[in-house]
Amino acid sequence: MRVFKNRWFNQWATSEGLSDTSLLIAIDEINRGLVDANLGSNVFKKRIALTGKGKSGGFRTLLAYKTGKSAFFIYGFSKKARSNINTNELKALKHLAKEYFSYSDQELTKVLLQGALIEVTKNE
Predicted confidence (pLDDT) per residue in 5-33, tens digit:
999 999 999 999 899 999 999 999 999 99
Whether the predicted pLDDT of 53 surpasses 90: no
pLDDT above 70 covers what percent of the chain? 92
> Beta strand 59-66 with 43-48: parallel, antiparallel or unpaired?
antiparallel
* CA separation for the pair 24, 31 (Å, rounded): 10
55: pLDDT confidence band, cut at 50, 70 and 90?
Answer: low
Q: What are the structural domain ranges in the chain?
A: 2-119
pLDDT score of 87: 93
Q: Taking all residues of the chain, what is their mean pLDDT, rounded to a whole number?
A: 90
pLDDT digits (tens, 9 = 90+) for 88-109: 999 999 999 999 999 999 999 9
pLDDT score of 33: 92
